[in-house]
Amino acid sequence: MDRYRGFEVKLICGAGGAEIEGIDASCPLAPEVVAELRRALAEHCVIFLRDQDLTPEQQKAFAGHFGPLAQTPFIKPLDGHPEMMRIVREPQEAKKLNFGGRWHTDMTFSPEPVMGTCLYARESPAVGGDTIWTNQMLAFEALSPALQRLLEKQVVMHSARRSYGPQGTYADDDLKSMRIQASESALKEQPHPCIRTHPETGRSILYVNWVYAIRFQDMTEEESAPLLDFLNRHSQRPEFQIRFRWRQGSLALWDNRSTQHIAVNDYPGHRRVMDRVTIAGDKPYYKETP
């Protein structure tokens, strides 16, 4: 186990991910414990707490230790909790795609994408329904030096239109229990560096994803597609992956700056209910290393 003050950390795989032992997320946390949790999050990309019993208010309070909470556009929030969304899949729902069922980084279509996401399992299928993350710092480091140098100079345009635009994936209201609202505002594009610097560790991050990164700046989507497709396939190599098996009461907090993730759609006929809050972030930047 890695050593941290105030709790124990058990690593779950080589790419990252760590189970935290000795923390009750329903209780207020001392500043020094929050600082250590921040360190664990930055180092391991995702931290997990098992067997938590949380109300929505307690989940929000836990996430709020790491920064102000952010609201999620295009999706109606949980009643009475504007910062929280409830991700539901009912057994009888026949969907083409489950919510979160493509590789993505949360809300990179925003000028200041969220720093972190906190997800809590209220109801989990007995088998299936895992979440997989990829460590985008490792993905960058595995690229050739020549490609690293090329990408460090590039800007990528991000947009929510493929998901939430009028012709987007969710525009047909297939995910009825999610109360998704397609919008013309999803057509906007937002530039971000292709390689971003982690503000706490200084490490370089490959900052692209299948869902929201649509093209390189000053290039068409068709011109951009071959390289973006390669980078996304590269990002999802097994040695970069962190996989978590949910059970009721599991809590995950991931660093949205350094990861992609996907919700595995392998539990037909079963119900899954997750509560999600996000933590406000800042504008991505790239700082060249000496």
d(CA 91, CA 269): 4
| Bridge partners of residue 86, in order along the sequence | 275
Is 106 part of the annotated catalytic residue set?
A: yes
Assign residue 210 a region: left if phi > 0, alpha if psi is -120 to 50, beta otherwise?
A: alpha
User: Of 65, 89, 106, 215, which one is the catalytic site residue?
Assistant: 106
Q: What span, in angstroms and rounded, lies between the C-alpha atoms of 124 and 267?
A: 10
Active site residue 198: no
Tokens representing residue 118 in the block: 């906190």
261 carries an active-site annotation: yes
Give Cβ neighbours of residue 92 (< 8 Å, ≥ 6 apart): none
Residues 287, 279: Cα–Cα separation, whole Å: 23
Classify residue 271 as exposed, middle or buried by CB count within 10 Å of its CB (0-12, 13-18, 19+): middle
Q: Is 266 a catalytic residue?
A: no
Give me the catalytic one of 158, 162, 261, 272. 261
What is the CB neighbour count within 10 angstroms for residue 57?
12
Q: What is the DSSP string of 192-240?
A: EESEEE-TTT--EEE---TTTEEEETTS-HHHHHHHHHHHHHHHT-GGG
Which of 65, 89, 104, 257 is the catalytic position?
104
Residue of 65, 122, 272, 276 with catalytic role: 276
C-alpha 17/C-alpha 135 separation (Å) is 9
* Cα separation, 121 vs 156, whole angstroms: 33
The catalytic site residues sit at 104, 106, 261, 276
